[in-house]
């Protein structure tokens, strides 16, 4: 399984910044915006692009600031993505859309659901992180060692964060499909190891490397946005939201999904016993796409 060949192109973003975007699927179909994980990029997974074409979906993905060809927006919050999405929609002639976000993309999908209700018909989160400083959630409980270290460094000094980031960056850049699973072992549950062994690992590495060239600033900044205020309240969301989280997730623990399901008004939850983190890319997308189409047309 591979990435989609959809080319990356530029649109004008806020404040004179550039945003890079990829589009696949049915050009006349329902617009669906993907928010990639952390780290990641707009590179599209071939099964997602193929499913979009079959279902009549215009699949849009963009590189968050600092990833790929998108200009860095230092000090950004999760909420700042709303202005970027407006710029992308205006450039592509999109008045109304649906959205989903995986992992670190989840909060960004929720942000535009909360802040752009006139544009967003429905949203879905897959293995999404929940807000950091909130009642009723121990943020790192059940999280694998690698991610515990990363979030710990993000809360430290800039020098501590940068040093930890450079170690992770070197590890990713030297990784091969054969070594990737072992290097990420502490944050991969059994279901994730299984889907990686089936061919997903090549896409995961390609998407990450696509996002961290020419700079890894997007990844560095993402780590910071998740340990401070998101800049909006999930309680303000008034559009339909699907929350999907797996019990075997060691990157973003199951409790994050439970928290989101309980605090996003009217959220529909898929809290599954057999999913991990990366399994979402393989097992959930068809149901998510169909769920979003129903809400868009409803």
Location of structure tokens 């700042």: 80
Q: What order do you get walking across the sheet with 268-272 strand by strand? A: 9-12, 18-25, 57-62, 30-35, 97-102, 120-126, 241-246, 268-272
b or e along 243-275 (b: 16 or more beta carbons within 10 Å of the residue's beta carbon)? bbbbbbbbbbbbbbbbbbbebbeebebbebeeb
Q: What is the pTM assigned to this prediction?
A: 0.97
What is the share, in percent, of the chain residues with pLDDT greater than 90?
Answer: 95
Q: What would the pLDDT profile of 155-188 be if each residue is shown by its tens digit?
A: 999 999 999 999 999 999 999 998 998 889 999 9
The pLDDT assigned to 233 comes to 97
- Tell me: pLDDT of 133 over 90: no
The DSSP bridge partners found for residue 242 are 124, 268
Q: Are 271 and 265 in contact (CB under 8 A)?
A: no
The pLDDT assigned to 249 comes to 98
Q: What is the mean pLDDT of residues 267-291?
A: 97
Q: How far apart are CA 203 and CA 183, in angstroms?
A: 16
The pLDDT assigned to 199 comes to 81
**How does the average pLDDT of the chain come out, rounded?**
96
- Tell me: pLDDT of 4 over 70: no
**Domain 9-297 grouped into CATH 3.40.50.1820:** yes
- Tell me: pLDDT of 1 over 60: no
Q: What is the mean pLDDT of residues 4-13?
A: 89
Q: For residue 9, which of 51, 45, 42, 46 has the smallest C-alpha distance?
A: 42
Q: What is the mean pLDDT of residues 90-116?
A: 98
- Tell me: pLDDT of 111 over 70: yes
Q: What would the pLDDT profile of 183-232 be if each residue is shown by its tens digit?
A: 899 999 999 999 998 889 999 999 999 999 999 999 999 999 999 999 99
Q: How far apart are CA 298 and CA 290, in angstroms?
A: 12
- Tell me: pLDDT of 248 over 80: yes
The 3-class secondary structure across 71-99, one letter per residue, is: CCCCCCCHHHHHHHHHHHHHHHCCCCEEE
The pLDDT assigned to 36 comes to 98
The pLDDT assigned to 19 comes to 98
What is the share, in percent, of the chain residues with pLDDT greater than 70?
Answer: 98
- Tell me: pLDDT of 34 over 80: yes
Q: Do the strands 57-62 and 268-272 form a parallel or antiparallel pair, or are they unpaired?
A: unpaired
- Tell me: pLDDT of 46 over 80: yes
Q: How far apart are CA 113 and CA 170, in angstroms?
A: 35
The pLDDT assigned to 2 comes to 45
Q: Are 76 and 273 in contact (CB under 8 A)?
A: no
The DSSP bridge partners found for residue 13 are none
The pLDDT assigned to 28 comes to 97
Q: What would the pLDDT profile of 136-156 be if each residue is shown by its tens digit?
A: 999 999 999 999 999 999 999
Q: Which of 1-10, 32-41, 276-285 has the lowest mean pLDDT?
A: 1-10
């Amino acid at each position: 399984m591979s990435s989609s060949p959809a080319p990356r192109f530029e649109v004008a973003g806020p404040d004179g910044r550039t945003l890079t975007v990829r589009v696949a699927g049915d050009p006349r179909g329902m617009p669906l915006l993907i928010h990639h994980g952390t780290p990641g990029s707009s590179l599209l997974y071939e099964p997602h692009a193929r499913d979009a074409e079959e279902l009549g979906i215009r699949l849009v993905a963009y590189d968050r600031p600092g990833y790929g060809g998108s200009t860095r927006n230092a000090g950004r919050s999760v909420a700042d993505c709303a202005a970027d999405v407006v710029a992308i929609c205006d450039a592509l002639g999109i008045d109304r859309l649906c959205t989903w976000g995986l992992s670190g993309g989840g909060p960004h999908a929720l942000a535009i659901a909360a802040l752009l209700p006139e544009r967003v018909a429905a949203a879905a989160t897959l293995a999404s992180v929940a807000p950091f400083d909130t009642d009723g959630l121990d943020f790192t409980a059940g999280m694998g060692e690698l991610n515990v270290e990363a979030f710990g460094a993000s809360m430290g000094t800039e020098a501590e964060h940068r040093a930890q980031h450079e170690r992770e960056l070197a590890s990713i850049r030297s990784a091969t499909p054969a070594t990737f699973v072992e290097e990420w072992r502490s944050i991969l549950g059994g279901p994730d190891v299984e889907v990686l062994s089936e061919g997903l690992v090549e896409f995961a590495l390609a998407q990450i490397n696509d996002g961290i060239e020419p700079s890894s600033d997007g990844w560095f900044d993402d780590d910071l946005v998740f340990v401070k205020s998101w800049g909006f309240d999930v309680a303000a969301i008034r559009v339909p939201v699907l929350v999907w989280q797996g019990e075997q997730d060691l990157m973003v623990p199951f409790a994050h999904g439970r928290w989101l399901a309980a605090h996003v008004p009217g959220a529909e939850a898929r809290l599954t016993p057999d999913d991990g983190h990366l399994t979402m890319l393989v097992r959930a997308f068809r149901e998510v796409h169909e769920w979003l189409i129903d809400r868009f047309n409803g």
